[in-house]
């Protein structure tokens, strides 16, 4: 793996009083193949914001 992509997604449920916002951080291998095309490969999903998720690894 040469290139790591990190994406944080936060969403709010329809009833925030009951559930509140949720955060999920995804880590993706974005390394290019021999032809130069990116073939993204999901490595992990962590139920946390980016800072906390990075420290878990």
Mean pLDDT by 10-residue block, N- to C-terminus, for the chain (57 residues)?
A: 88 70 86 92 84 60
Segments forming the whole domain that contains residue 9:
4-56
Q: How many domains is the chain built from?
A: 1
Q: What's the CA gap between 26 and 56, in Å, rounded?
A: 13
pTM, to two decimals: 0.64
Give the pLDDT score at 14: 73
- Taking the C-alpha atoms of residue 25 and residue 21, their distance in angstroms, rounded to an integer, is 14
pLDDT at residue number 34:
92
pLDDT at 23: 83
Query: Quick one: DSSP state of residue 25?
Result: E
The sign one gets for the Cα dihedral 50, 4, 46, 20 is positive
């Amino acid at each position: 793996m040469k290139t790591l992509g990190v994406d944080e997604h936060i969403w709010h449920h329809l009833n925030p009083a009951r559930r509140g916002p949720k955060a999920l951080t995804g880590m993706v291998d974005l390394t290019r193949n021999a032809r130069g095309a990116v073939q993204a490969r999901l490595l992990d999903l962590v139920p946390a914001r980016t800072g906390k998720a990075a420290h878990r690894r």
